[in-house]
Chains A and B, each alone.
Chain A
Amino acid sequence: MKVTVVSRSGREVVKGGIHLSDSATVADLQEAIHKQTKKYPSRQRLTLPVQPGSKERPVVLNYKKSLQDYTSGNSDSLTVVFKDLGPQVSYRTLFFCEYLGPLLLYPVFYYFPVYQYFGYKGERVIHPVQTYALYYWCFHYAKRILETFFVHRFSHATSPLSNVFRNCAYYWTFGSYIAYYMNHPLYTPVNDLQMKIGFGFGILCQISNFYCHIILKNLRSPGGEGGYQIPKGFLFNIVTCANYTTEIYQWLGFNIATQTVAGYIFLAVATFIMTNWALAKHRRLKKLFDGKEGRPRYPRRWIILPPFL
């Protein structure tokens, strides 16, 4: 089989094309392109050409499929459009970097005398809630890192290198911003009952969130195959993105217990980001599971935050 590899502007990316056996897979093609172009497979985006003027989204080649699946009738030649996605990092690497910042930076504000550099000399009295907040915060990010390495099953996907800088800026900046106020010498605690309710609710939601991640992991096989399934069980029966729901409520618990404007701003931004993800995921699942051709129909569910959305 001869595969012609072109760029989106029509220029041949691999001169003379690539010759593979008829039973070759897309993964084989990607390896061959890698040899010719030095661009490793995770940076290659291969699509079937679309008719000029067509509004349809191009078909992206799946690395597991054989090339035969994409030739229509004329089975000994195929044209694919190549796009370089730029340097890629694995999701594991990305998540580890972004979560390490908050895990390490927050304790700096708690343990070290940083506030003297902001003009606050003298002794610092540490309130119990500040100590509990430290434990809660560090537990949260340690949990996230452990989930990244031992729970989450990432499909073949990687993320552009630029996202490392963007995501680390987000997590590390907000982490420092919240840590600054939480451990401030002039921090004012809320009353004891409010603190207990906040942390108690938060811990409950973190445990629920962990269970949601276990359920999501079990939807996929160890190789990361599995694509999309209808999530079932526990809170997923009523909410599509129960994992985001529990994450948002977990931060709400933290803020009820600790009461800082910085923490609430973080909650608002995180909710906004996760809501956008949830809307996209819900839409995708509804489209995929439309009830036609033997596929199940996606059930009526809340998207992310009952009773609002």
Chain B
Amino acid sequence: MAGFFSLLRRIYLSLYNWTVLFGWCQVLYFVLKTLNESGHEHVYEAAEKSLLFAQTAAVLEILHGLVGLVRSPITATLPQISSRLFLTWGILWSFPETRSHVLVTSLLISWSITEIIRYSFFGFKETFGFTPSWLLWLRYSSFLVLYPTGISSEVGLIYIALPFIKASEKYCIRMPNKWNSSFDYFYAAIAAMGIYIPGSPHMYTYMLAQRKKALSKSKRE
């Protein structure tokens, strides 16, 4: 019985990883194609459907961690996915005025390359039981460049969006109301930017530690 579930888990995770990988390949393809043909202002439009699909699917990874399907600690997956969903739905999808900015291009390129490496890494592991050493190296080295570029693009885009957030009153709850509560999306976005200050070093050093563990282990084998 245990063997059956373990096989089911492998099939499910393989399907998941390869499917989402395909989505991110599409994102990168449309970004590069549009850059070549029309320019950075149209990059979002071309990649939107694939981006919304691939990035939102990542919510499943929180579930995978919670039920123990995968080993990744939720303290690492939750901040990562939160920032991705916040940027994808909370900034780009909600405030179209941001979509033509050049930072969208750097954002999507950073994200898609990182995810292509990451999902193929896990896809290989689940389907074939191993990962080629060059892919292992990429997985634990590309973040050295792509985390800074991705994070800068994320913070930059939130900043760009601020005036539009303030003017639109979107997602705001105002007093008076019977639950005596309020929410100001403008200040929440500023607070989100603030979280990057302790959050980025935390994620970066976590990956550095993972890199040390993973690459030294493969050297010994």
Contact = CB atoms under 8 A, between A and B. Distances in A.
Interface in B152-187: 175-182
Interface residues of A, number: 12
B176 A187 contact: yes
A182 to B, nearest CB: 8
A281 interface: no
A14 interface: no
Interface string A147-188: 000000000000000000000000000000000011010111
Interface string A187-221: 11010000000000000000000000000000000
Which of A181, A182, A258 has the most CB atoms of chain B within a 10 A radius of its CB? A181
A282 to B, nearest CB: 25
B176 A181 contact: no
Nearest to A181: B180
Interface of B is mostly: loop
B92 to A, nearest CB: 28
B179 to A, nearest CB: 5
Interface residues of B, number: 8
B191 to A, nearest CB: 13
Interface in A36-58: none
A262 B176 contact: no
A181 B176 CA distance: 10
Contacts of A181: 180-182
Nearest to B175: A186
A261 interface: yes
B175 to A, nearest CB: 4
A275 to B, nearest CB: 19
A260 B179 CA distance: 5
B190 to A, nearest CB: 15
B178 A259 contact: yes
A260 B181 contact: yes
B179 A259 contact: yes
B46 to A, nearest CB: 41
Interface of A: 181-182, 184, 186-188, 190, 258-262
27 contacts: A181-B180, A181-B181, A181-B182, A182-B180, A184-B175, A184-B180, A186-B175, A186-B176, A187-B175, A187-B176, A187-B180, A188-B176, A188-B177, A188-B178, A188-B180, A190-B178, A258-B180, A259-B179, A259-B180, A260-B179, A260-B180, A260-B181, A261-B179, A261-B180, A261-B181, A262-B180, A262-B181
Interface of B: 175-182
Q: Sort A-B residue pairs by CB-CB distance and give the 9 closest, nearest first.
A: A261-B181, A186-B175, A186-B176, A260-B180, A188-B176, A181-B180, A261-B179, A188-B178, A187-B180
